[in-house]
Amino acid sequence: MGLETDMTNNLNGNLGLTKGTNLFEGAVTDLKNIIPDFSIFCRGIGGPAADRVFQLAYEITKAQISIYVRSNINERTIARSKMQCIYDYLKSEIPDNYLDCRCLQSQPQELGRDDKGRWLFTMTFECWKQENKWILDSGYWEDIRYWFDSENWNDGV
C-alpha cells in the first residue's frame, strides 16, 4: 500500500474521521453530493531518494504527504483546530509499519479561502518506512533485478 492509503487507514476512526465520508485519499476535490465541504484529504507528494543501508539489505524510504483540512463556509477556526488535532495525533500515532512520522512545519499552514469561501489548511509530514529488498530463500538471495547463489558467489573479478 502507498502512504496515502496507510495514512487514511491510520486516521480512520480517530478524531471523528471516517474514510469515504469526511476523509479521502488524493487531491482536494469537489464532487457534489459525495464529498462534504468539511473534509480531510491525504495526498502523497513524493520525497527524497531512499537511503540504502546494510549493503542493500533494505532501504529507508522517506515519503512525504500533505494533509489538507477544508472547512465549511466561514468556519476558519474549526478547520485550523482540526488540523492541529491531526498534528497532535500523528506525533504519537504513526501509521502501521512505519518507523517514524514527523511534521515538516511547526504549525498548520493557512492556504486561504477557495472560490466557495471554504478555508483550507495543510501540513506536510515525512514518514519513514523500512522496505526489505533482499530475501534469503533456500540459500539464494533474491532481489528484483537478478538471482545469485550466495555460497558460490563470483563477481567476475
pLDDT digits (tens, 9 = 90+) for 126-148: 998 877 665 554 444 444 434 44
84 within a domain of the structure (yes/no): yes
88 within a domain of the structure (yes/no): yes
Instruction: Tell me what pLDDT residue 55 has.
Output: 59
Instruction: Tell me what pLDDT residue 38 has.
Output: 94
Domain coverage including residue 127: 3-149
120 within a domain of the structure (yes/no): yes
Q: Residue 151: CB partners within 8 Å, gap ≥ 6?
A: 139
Round the CA-based radius of gyration of the chain to a whole number and report it: 20
Counting the structural domains of the chain, the total is: 1
Helices (H), ranges, the chain: 3-11, 76-92
96 within a domain of the structure (yes/no): yes
pTM score above 0.85: no
User: Residue 84's domain is classified under what CATH number?
Assistant: 3.30.2000.10
129 within a domain of the structure (yes/no): yes
Instruction: Tell me what pLDDT residue 72 has.
Output: 92
pLDDT level of residue 1 (50, 70, 90 thresholds):
low
Instruction: Tell me what pLDDT residue 56 has.
Output: 59
155 within a domain of the structure (yes/no): no
